[in-house]
């Protein structure tokens, strides 16, 4: 499948990020001026903290996503969310490891781009529409951008992504060792344990040495 053009991509994202259940769906976090140029996706399950639709306009939300008119993803996140979660801090550090390895074309997203305080409540009737829209956003990103590398963290994410890809992804390392990955067409998918509490605390003692190896393998693949 060939990539769609930039204009069509932005029009699709604009339609998919209209307010839903009082929030603006958040399709990505990135420092890239052009998210369409991402070569690596860091993929979690879904965001805990949403953007209240009463706090900003959809135009500003889009400006931040596409780094226009003085807006950016991170600046808007810091304004609306404030203190970063443990997951956000860990994801930032993983991005730093990738950057140190020479990989800077990174987009952070979720297999369900819709916010709930706990991922478990995605299955409730109140969030059925959000879950569906959030999954559609992720599929759109994957099909439109076609990144050569995905780094997927957490058992729930791996399970959901396996359904999206129609491929049974392997489990991540349970102890220090070589990074686990799967080749699916032109995409290499690295699977790692969760960057979010509480699982994070079960492996944080060796997490960063392992994630450094992941970053180095990603860099080698993209050379």
**Which pTM was predicted?**
0.95
Whether residue 198 has a cis bond before it, omega within 30° of 0: yes
Is 1 a domain residue?
no
When divided into structural domains, the chain yields a total of 1
82: confidence class by pLDDT, cuts 50, 70, 90: confident
Tokens of 36: 């369409």
* pLDDT tens figures, 18-62: 999 999 999 999 999 999 999 999 999 999 889 999 999 999 999
Given a cut of 70, is residue 3 above it in pLDDT? no
What whole-number distance in Å separates Cα of residue 160 and Cα of residue 163? Answer: 5
Residue 172: domain span: 6-222
CATH code for the domain in which residue 197 is found: 3.40.470.10
Phi, psi for 192 (deg, rounded to 5): -135, 165
Is 23 a domain residue?
yes
Ranges of beta strands (E only) in 8-157 are 23-24, 29-30, 40-44, 51-52, 106-110, 149-153
Is 12 a domain residue?
yes
């Amino acid at each position: 499948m060939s990539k769609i053009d930039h204009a069509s991509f932005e029009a699709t994202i604009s339609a998919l990020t209209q307010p839903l259940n009082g929030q603006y769906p958040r399709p990505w976090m990135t420092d890239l001026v052009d998210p369409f140029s991402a070569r690596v996706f860091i993929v979690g399950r879904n965001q805990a903290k949403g953007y209240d639709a009463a706090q900003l306009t959809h135009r500003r939300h889009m400006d931040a996503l596409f780094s226009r008119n003085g807006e950016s993803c991170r600046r808007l996140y810091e304004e609306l969310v404030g203190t970063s979660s443990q997951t956000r801090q860990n994801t930032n550090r993983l991005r730093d490891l990738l950057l140190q390895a020479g990989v800077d074309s990174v987009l952070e997203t979720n297999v369900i781009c819709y916010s709930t305080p706990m991922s478990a409540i995605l299955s409730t009737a109140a969030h059925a529409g959000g879950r569906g829209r959030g999954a559609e956003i992720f599929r759109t990103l994957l099909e439109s951008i076609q990144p050569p590398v995905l780094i997927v963290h957490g058992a729930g994410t791996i399970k959901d992504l396996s359904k999206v890809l129609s491929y049974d992804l392997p489990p991540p390392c349970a102890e220090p060792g070589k990074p686990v990955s799967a080749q699916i067409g032109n995409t290499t998918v690295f699977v790692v344990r969760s960057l979010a509490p509480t699982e994070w605390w079960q492996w944080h003692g060796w997490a960063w040495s392992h994630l450094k190896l992941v970053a180095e393998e990603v860099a080698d693949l993209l050379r």
